[in-house]
């Protein structure tokens, strides 16, 4: 029994020992633990899938015990729902950030960005959760609220791409959703049957087609030559 260190009364006084586990508030403890749990859940779902992401692997990866987990989440489902919300937010944030980094992006750039984002961890996890929700009524019920908001935000974010202002909301919604499906499907299939040539062709043709739709809109809005 060493009972070392003068029991750390010195939170004040600026002790030089920086390696000692700094004192944290309850709120900090709580939040970092929750973050570690959700991060571990995201990583696990991306790597081994929703079904194989057991509480055991989550605890192992996060370094949090079962007791710690159940302090913050009442059930596995609750943790999964929180994870869904988190990946949704990150996905949107990433899209907005990268889109604004590109100044005045061409359609093809925006599409490529979208495709890349759909191959990224956040969206893969969201996809896994969606697929799991199809056959899990509880998850489906909880996810549908999150889902509708998420879907709407994706469309909203797409408004950052120049040219989209020409589309009425309903058209843009349908178009963006279709692209999401396309890139989701591509991301899955390339795990089994990769086809980089077709991927590139698909991207280019999607851009051309979108361009075509835009031009058509313009010529209808301004029936120029007559």
Partner DNA sequence: ATGGATAAAGACCGACCGGTCTCTAAGTTG
Partner DNA sequence: CAACTTAGAGACCGGTCGGTCTTTATCCAT
Question: Applying CB under 7 A, which residues contact DNA?
Answer: 7, 21, 23-27, 29-30, 32-33, 52-57, 63-68, 70-72, 74-77
15, 20, 30, 47: residue in contact with a copy of itself (rule CB under 8 A): 47
> Position of tokens 């994706």?
154
User: Which residues ranging from 149 to 168 are in contact with a copy of itself (CB under 8 A)?
Assistant: 151
143, 154, 157, 161: residue in contact with a copy of itself (rule CB under 8 A): 143
How many residues at the interface with a copy of itself, by CB under 8 A?
50
**Which of a copy of itself, DNA, none binds 171 (CB below 5-8 Å, type-dependent)?**
a copy of itself
148, 162, 169, 219: residue in contact with a copy of itself (rule CB under 8 A): 148
String of contacts with a copy of itself for each residue 165-184, x by CB under 8 A: -----xx-xxx-xx-xxxxx
User: Both tokens of residue 212?
Assistant: 């075509």
Of 25-33, 58-66, 88-96, 141-149, which segment contacts a copy of itself by CB under 8 A?
A: 141-149
Judged by beta carbon, residue 20 or residue 169, the one nearer a copy of itself is 169
> Position of tokens 């970092």?
32
DSSP class per residue in the chain: ----TTTT-TTTTT-S--SS-----HHHHHHHHHHHHHHHHHHHHHHH-TTT--HHHHHHHHT--HHHHHHH-SSHHHHHHHHHHHHHHHHHHHHHHHHHHSSS--HHHHHHHHHHHHHSHHHHHHHHHHHHHHT-HHHHHHHHHHHHHHHHHHHHHHTTSTTGGGS-HHHHHHHHHHHHHHHHHHHHHHHHS--HHHHHHHHHHHHHHHHHHHHHHHHHHS----
User: Which residues ranging from 91 to 110 are in contact with a copy of itself (CB under 8 A)?
Assistant: none
Q: Does 65 bind a copy of itself (CB under 8 A)?
A: no
Cβ atoms of residues 105 and 157 within 8 Å: no
Please state the closest distance from residue 70 (CB atom) to a copy of itself, in A.
22
Q: How far apart are CA 27 and CA 25, in angstroms?
A: 5
Please state the closest distance from residue 160 (CB atom) to a copy of itself, in A.
21
Where on the chain is the footprint of a copy of itself (CB under 8 A)?
Answer: 47-52, 127-128, 130-136, 140, 143-144, 147-148, 151, 170-171, 173-175, 177-178, 180-186, 188-189, 191-193, 197-198, 201-202, 205, 208-209, 212-213, 216
């Amino acid at each position: 029994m060493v009972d070392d260190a003068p029991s750390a009364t010195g939170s004040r006084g600026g002790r030089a020992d920086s390696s000692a586990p700094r004192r944290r508030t309850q709120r900090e403890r709580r939040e970092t633990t929750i973050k570690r749990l959700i991060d571990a859940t995201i990583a696990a779902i991306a790597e081994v899938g929703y079904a194989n992401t057991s509480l055991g692997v989550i605890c192992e990866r996060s370094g949090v015990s079962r007791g710690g987990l159940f302090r913050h989440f009442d059930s596995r489902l609750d943790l999964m729902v929180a994870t869904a919300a988190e990946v949704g937010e990150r996905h949107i944030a990433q899209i907005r950030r990268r889109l604004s980094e590109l100044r005045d992006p061409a359609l093809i750039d925006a599409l490529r960005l979208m495709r890349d984002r759909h191959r990224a961890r956040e969206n893969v996890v969201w996809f896994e959760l969606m697929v799991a929700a199809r056959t899990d009524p509880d998850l489906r019920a909880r996810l549908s609220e999150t889902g509708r908001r998420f879907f709407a935000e994706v469309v909203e974010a797409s408004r950052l791409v120049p040219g989209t202002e020409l589309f009425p909301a309903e058209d843009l919604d349908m178009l963006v959703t279709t692209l999401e499906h396309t890139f989701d499907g591509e991301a899955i299939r390339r795990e089994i049957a990769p086809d980089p040539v077709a991927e590139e062709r698909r991207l280019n043709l999607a851009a051309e087609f979108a361009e075509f739709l835009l031009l058509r809109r313009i010529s209808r809005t301004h029936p120029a030559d007559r």
